[in-house]
């Protein structure tokens, strides 16, 4: 049984060239059955939302966000769920903008507070 992402919070684990997410961006994930969604904000991202599906340890979703300059943008992401040695969750991501040029890879790690 895959570990649930519901209620877990994540931050970037490193720079994502071409993206607007950084170490100050906070993601709050939710999950219900195969449906996943999250709200995120911080750094260059004023507000963002993602929604999609989960199949085992793979997430596929679309994201839409507003940056601090007042620009909106959207894209597609495929993430793979990994469990770290300390039990936290890491999401390895491959993404691409659909509203503007650019694509990349990144990762986010669960934060425990």
pLDDT at 76 over 70: yes
What percentage of the chain exceeds 90 in pLDDT? 92
Tell me the pLDDT band of 48, cut-offs 50, 70 and 90: very high
Q: Residue 16: inside a domain, yes or no?
A: yes
Q: Residue 52: inside a domain, yes or no?
A: yes
Q: Residue 112: inside a domain, yes or no?
A: no
Q: Residue 110: inside a domain, yes or no?
A: no
Q: Residue 4: inside a domain, yes or no?
A: no
Q: Which residue has the higher pLDDT, 34 or 18?
A: 34
pLDDT value of residue 17 = 78
Tokens 């491959």 — which residue?
A: 94
pLDDT value of residue 1 = 64
Q: Residue 80: inside a domain, yes or no?
A: yes
The distance from CA 36 to its chain's CA centroid, rounded to whole angstroms, is 11
Domain housing 32:
9-100
Q: Residue 58: inside a domain, yes or no?
A: yes
Residue 5 and residue 89 in contact, taking contact as beta carbons nearer than 8 Å: yes
Q: Residue 68: inside a domain, yes or no?
A: yes
What count of other Cβ atoms lies within 10 Å of the Cβ of residue 70? 7
pLDDT value of residue 80 = 98
Total structural domains in the chain? 1
């Amino acid at each position: 049984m895959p570990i649930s992402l519901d209620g877990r919070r994540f931050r970037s684990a490193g720079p994502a060239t071409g993206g607007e997410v950084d170490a100050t961006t906070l993601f709050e994930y939710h999950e219900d059955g195969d449906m996943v969604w999250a709200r995120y904000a911080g750094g260059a991202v004023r507000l963002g939302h993602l929604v999609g599906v989960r199949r085992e340890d793979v997430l596929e979703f679309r994201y839409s966000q507003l940056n601090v300059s007042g620009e909106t943008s959207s894209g597609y992401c495929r993430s793979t769920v990994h469990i770290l040695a300390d039990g936290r969750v890491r999401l390895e991501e491959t993404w691409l903008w659909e509203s503007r040029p650019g694509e990349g890879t990144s990762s986010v790690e669960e934060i425990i507070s």
